[in-house]
Structure 1
């Protein structure tokens, strides 16, 4: 949504808490250092699969290439891997070095990861060989169970299961709540980090509406601490403020959705929001220069907290720059040199890879083209996520093209039949709630998720505002969402 003026690497899997690294020192019987050592870890595990990792340390002469072999002990089947060429023959799994990581000096280490299926038991391997030489091994414990009672443990860890969002116990969940705008624009404008208070009382006011989700828009230049941002509102100061808001949202039992809203890259074409190269407006697509680094940093920040949901990019509109819809969707997924966009684009696949490359297994949302209002080819071009933990995001306002039930039935329903669908922004610029009432009913009838734009006290004429005061006093527009949330979750 627009705002008032001035005002690397595939992988990871389903649902399980990530665990930290545990290193167990090992020595041979004689006390000499082993020729090599291996740390094997199960970093996440779900009903029929798991993500694993190995860290290999070479304690002998330097080598120009390496090959690690081990045997699965519980009938596990390798499905894919990264940072090595992975293969399986019978029970034996082999990870061979890639061209970029074959050199392994004495004392040096290399890590690689994989995804595999399992049933019955997920027994860990008990022997490893590096280039044919046996290694001593440290083995990490399996992941601890995920929280199942949100009343006691805060918001649930969510995962995509078919076309539903479910918690650790397999119970279907919906994301129903609000957006909390400010973090995307205040910092780049040199005015602070958030627009209005984000203290405990203001967050509690959201919870009092019976919202269970808060979407938090972010700015990549502020998060990364680039030189054009006032240091008071950048880097560690910005990140800590976001982490603090996330913690407050969780403390009130609500799911935090962190979302990339404004990005770097100069675009002056059709429907440009600004001519600035900096992240001072909505760009048609994220940029390759900074956005993958942004998501790698965000994912590393929150990867050990899978209650946090990642929304990759607010409102892509490559369709306004390209000459064909096919080009727009290709740009959306694959990025690169997109027609009509002067900077190198990071596609949705690049961003999924950036998140998963950190080991983060959090639920990911990906919005379509036309400011996330068009999902007509989302299923055809959806990015690959081996975790299967990906949902479609959609935005709708009364002035959008796809703003009627006929369009929703023809373009949204097929998507919602296959993957979870989240309306990350719903709103209307009439200061009433007649339109969003229609949207909410359509989504309620199908058990889908939606979030109102926005929990800010703006004049409705400059953007849909749910409240007139941060104590939760609703506008006429906000009354419709508040009453619906209370009816559903009260």
Structure 2
């Protein structure tokens, strides 16, 4: 609920004793202020329940939406709330902004309330996170260090310069490589974190193809450690595994692209991949409940390493849910209550804001609609990026709508003339490489980037699979990409 019903408030006023405010104080250090502060108050309490409130103050850059997370420490159970979208998963409570109070300027505050049950103890939460950033803990102010290039044999720090990707020295760079699927589905299925080995030998095998980039799909519930995921594959265990793979990719001189693939939110409309509310399939758009927190956490993890690229969301398809293309693009950029989608959507602008709100300046990729195959209005609706480090992402397979040079010339050329263009996934389901040969030539002729899907040993007939063994033995499809990369970079 968005607000407490009058009957509940009347019962509280008439049957309980007001115990006063129990407030978590803001912890500060001399001359410093926390990134955010939260005052948590128990305003009234009775035998089996209590009423509480939070007051959030934002001390960093302005944000378009916010999500507060904290843990109940005494077995309390949330029953209802107001002035925020309240939810509880295990011990973790989340309060996400409403459409009317999501904008939070620097120095501004917002309040929200709730009712919860308790028994035994009503311990006060001790830590709070706003969009993934810890509150009430002051850190002496210091500028975010500018990412610097690693050793000469490592990957470069990339920036968008006009319509090119450039390194710290201004030299033009291209992202050419593969996807390494697994991190998006294994954890939510309770089968592990990655599909197949991610040891040094298996990563070296990718580098031996002369790839310079590896895209790593992720799952937001696993990263955030929600209670529905086996703890062995969630939270710190999942994050550390991703960080370890990123480190291995970098050690072999390749650029890691961390990408959000599967997200929360129930969608049962046109082209639904599943009816599950959990992050167990591709949803049409990311969700406001968890995705901004996911990206704030990922950005905080990698913001001091400019070699890591952020790909905001795998394959948006709001066009399958909405009735007009304009509605689809508006949903894509602005999120909110999108026609045909039953959960509140986080738009691309929300996600850019979540990343930049941490101080991260890493290169960001944003894919268009129609499963990232349609960039026809990307320039019109592109999100604002205060860091000026945004590129367009595009996916293409032989079975897509925009799978011919005529479409590429009409829709991709205008985009590539203004911003860097990265084909984050290219592939074909024929177990051959005739189609991607055409794609790679078209992109080579224009100095653009592309990544093959996928470095996994699946049956090629069930989907594009580049390898039959993690030692790098290619399928017929993979042979085309491997030989082409070696010819370019050998």
TM-score band, normalised by the shorter chain?
A: 0.7 to 0.9
Q: Is the 8 A contact 2:133 2:297 kept in 1?
A: no
Distance in 1 of aligned mates of 2:47 and 2:305: 19
CA contact (8 A) 1:179 1:453 kept: yes
Rounded to whole Å, the distance in 1 between the matches of 2:464 and 2:279 is 22
Q: Equivalences for 1:182-197 in 2 at 5 Å?
A: 182-197=182-197
Q: Aligned with 2:41: secondary structure?
A: strand
| Cα pair 1:159 1:165 within 8 Å, conserved | yes
Deviates more, 1:240-249 or 1:128-137: 128-137
Residue aligned with 2:227, SS: coil
Contact between 2:467 and 2:474, CA under 8 Å: does it hold in 1? yes
Moved more, 110-119 or 289-298: 110-119
1:192-247 per-position Cα deviation (integer Å, ceiling 9, x unaligned): 00000000000000000000000000000000001110000000000000000000
Instruction: Mark the CA change 1:21 to 1:212 in structure 2 (over 3 Å): closer, same or farther.
Output: farther
SS at match of 2:62: coil
| CA contact 2:73–2:123 (8 Å) conserved in 1 | yes
C-alpha RMSD over aligned residues: 16.1
Query: Is the CA contact 2:457–2:466 (under 8 Å) kept in the aligned structure 1?
Result: yes
Change (3 A) 1:175 1:129: closer
Q: How many angstroms apart in 1 are the aligned matches of 2:387 and 2:78? A: 14
Matches of 2:18 and 2:235, distance apart in 1: 25
Shift in alpha-carbon separation, 1:226–1:27, aligned structure 2, 3 A: closer
Query: What is the CA distance between 1:407 and its match in structure 2?
Result: 0.2
Asked if 2 retains the 8 angstrom alpha-carbon contact of 1:17 and 1:44, the reply is: yes
CA-to-aligned-CA distance 1:415-455 (integer Å, 9 cap, x gap): 00000000000000000000000000000000000000000
**How far apart in 2 are the matches of 1:280 and 1:75?**
28
d(CA) in 2 for partners of 1:231 and 1:323?
40
Aligned with 2:39: secondary structure?
strand
Instruction: Could you tell me which runs of 5 or more consecutive residues in structure 2 were left unpaired when the two chains were aligned.
Output: none
Question: 1:402 is matched with which residue?
Answer: 402
Structure 1 pair 110/198, CA: closer, same or farther in 2 (3 Å)?
A: same
4+ residue segments displaced more than 3 Å: 1-151
Evaluate the alpha carbon distance shift between residue 437 and residue 144 of structure 1 in structure 2; reply closer, same or farther with a 3 A threshold. same
Inter-partner Cα distance in structure 2 for 1:379 and 1:476: 36
Q: Give the match for residue 226 of structure 2.
A: 226
Residue 116 of structure 1: SS of its match in structure 2? strand
CA displacement at 1:115 relative to structure 2: 41
Q: Does 1:202 align with 2:205?
A: no
Q: TM-score, normalised by structure 2?
A: 0.72
**DSSP 3-state at the match of 1:437:** helix
1:49–1:82 distance in 2 versus 1, CA, 3 Å: same
Structure 1 residues 266, 131: CA separation in 2 closer, same or farther (over 3 Å shift)?
Answer: closer
| Structure 2 contact 25–39 (Cα < 8 Å) conserved | no
Whole-angstrom CA distance in 1 between matches of 2:45 and 2:384 = 19
State the 1:152 CA deviation. 2.3
Report Cα offsets for 1:261-289 as digits up to 9, x if no partner.
00000000000000000000000000000
- By relative contact order (CA 8 Å, sep 6+), the higher-ranking structure is 1
Could you tell me how far apart the structure 1 residues matched to 2:263 and 2:24 are? 42
Tell me the SS of whatever aligns to 1:32: coil
Preserved CA contact (<8 Å) 1:11 1:386: no
Question: SS state of the match for residue 362, structure 1?
Answer: coil
**Structure 1 residue 462: deviation in Å?**
1.5
| Contact 2:369–2:375 under 8 Å retained in 1 | yes
TM-aligned CA distance change 1:367 to 1:60, over 3 Å:
closer
Structure 1 residues 77-135: Cα deviation after superposition (integer angstroms, max 9, x where no partner): 99999999999999999999999999999999999999999999999999999999999
Q: Residue 417 in 1 paired to residue 420 in 2?
A: no
Q: Which segment is superposed worse, 79-88 or 185-194?
A: 79-88
Q: Tell me the matched-pair count.
A: 490
Q: Deviations over 1:162-212 (max 9, x none)?
A: 000000000000000000000000000000000000000000000000000
Q: Following the alignment from structure 1 to structure 2, what is the Cα–Cα distance between the partners of residues 448 and 193?
A: 31
The change in CA–CA distance for 1:141 and 1:464 in structure 2 (over 3 A counts) is same
Partner Cα distance (2:43, 2:59) in 1: 25
- Counterpart of 1:93 in 2: which secondary structure? strand
Shift of 1:34: 19
Range with bigger deviation, 123-132 or 298-307: 123-132
Unaligned runs of 5+ in 1: none
In structure 2, the CA distance between the partners of 1:133 and 1:334, relative to structure 1 (3 Å rule), is closer
Contact preservation (8 Å) 2:284, 2:317: yes
Q: Secondary structure at the match of 1:394?
A: strand
Separation in structure 2 between the aligned mates of residue 20 and residue 269 of structure 1, nearest angstrom: 48
Distance 1:3 1:30, change over 3 A: closer
TM-score, normalised by the number of residues in structure 1: 0.72
Q: Is the 8 A contact 1:67 1:94 kept in 2?
A: yes
Deviation at 1:23, TM superposition (A): 28
**1:205–1:471 contact (8 Å) kept in structure 2:** yes
Q: Is the 8 A contact 2:149 2:168 kept in 1?
A: no
Q: 1:442 to 1:264 in 2, by over 3 A?
A: same
DSSP 3-state at the match of 1:472: coil
**Partner SS for 1:50:** strand
Q: In structure 2, how many angstroms separate the alpha carbons of the residues matched to 1:16 and 1:476?
A: 73
Q: CA deviation at 1:300?
A: 0.4
